[in-house]
Amino acid sequence: MQPNTPRTMRCDRSPTPLPARIETSADLDRWRDERGEADAALSGLTGERARMLTSASVDALARKDAEIATARLRAERAAAVVVQAERRATETEAREAAKEPERRKRYAVGKKAAAEAERIMRTEYEPAAAQLAAVLGRLAALQPAIEAANADLPADAVRLDPDAFRGLAATPGRHERRLRAVAIDADGARLHGHITAFRADATAEPWARHENGAVPQARQEAREEQEWIPGSAAVPADSLLTSTAIPGLRWDDPAHWPPKD
């Protein structure tokens, strides 16, 4: 009985197709490889044809010529793609090089600004953050008294909210008189309802097509009319104590606010 031996299976993978668009240097390298392979294949086929001339039949030479024609198209295509891509790359490099002086100028300004920002953070942030945290601490110290009063309000008392002034107050609805362009009939009466057309052009006879039919001798006029302006609801502000965060200067520094329990 024959011992079991491992069987080897061959799996030929189809070649990866060439990129339809050259967007990276790797794409361009693929096409350069394709150009080299196509040129080598064309050279090999041309050499084979030269050796066949004295011995091969006309049909065989014709078939070889067809192979050469296909190989030449492949080589020409690859060469054209590479030349176009390299030209575009050169143009892009030239455009980028032309922008370099302005980049360096902006970078010099930005570098100076970055140094100033670092100086401010190193010398001014900590004192300012500590001062603001102290203000928030004083506000927090007042909260227990405010919460105790709100928990059991006296008769007719309003709830205490020291942050109320920071919010957006409600605005009541109101009537306002505003100028509006309106359609007027021949007697000067306002045309109400849906109007779909008014004077075809500057020389045409004025008219309007009202929802109840055509109105001849109509005109447009600016009139002051009363209009209702809807109000808006109040938008309360979040408490500074819960909506403010003051981080430490470095990643491992404790926060200035909110304080640790």
pLDDT above 80: residue 167: yes
Domain-embedded: residue 166: no
Domain-embedded: residue 43: no
DSSP-assigned letters across all residues of 26-58: HHHHHHHHHHHHHHHHHHHHHHHHHHHTTTS-H
Residue/partner pairs of 249-253 with CB below 8 Å, 24 or more apart: 249/121, 249/122, 249/125, 249/126, 249/129
107-149 pLDDT, tens digit each: 999 999 999 999 999 999 999 999 999 999 999 999 999 999 9
Q: What is the pLDDT of residue 35?
A: 94
Domain-embedded: residue 191: yes
Structural domain that includes position 217: 178-200+207-224
Domain-embedded: residue 53: no
**Averaged pLDDT score across all residues of the chain:** 86
Domain-embedded: residue 184: yes
Q: What is the pLDDT of residue 183?
A: 74
Between CA 37 and CA 43, with CA 38 as vertex, the angle to 5 degrees is 100
Q: How many H-runs (helices) and E-runs (strands) does the chain carry? A: 4, 5
pTM strictly above 0.85: no
Tell me the backbone φ, ψ of residue 166, rounded to 5 degrees.
-85, -15
pLDDT above 90: residue 6: no
113-122 pLDDT, tens digit each: 999 999 999 9
Higher pLDDT, 103 or 182: 103
Angle between helices 25-52 and 58-120 (to 10 degrees): 160
Domain-embedded: residue 186: yes
Domain-embedded: residue 187: yes
Q: What is the pLDDT of residue 9?
A: 52
Percent of the chain with pLDDT over 90: 67
187-245 pLDDT, tens digit each: 777 776 655 555 555 554 445 555 555 565 667 777 788 888 999 999 999 999 999 99
Percent of the chain with pLDDT over 70: 83
pLDDT above 90: residue 157: yes
Q: Amino acid letter at 172? A: P
Candidate ranges 10-24, 54-68, 209-223; pick with highest mean pLDDT: 54-68
Least confident of 10-24, 95-109, 244-258: 10-24
Domain-embedded: residue 70: no
Q: Quote the number of domains for the chain.
A: 1
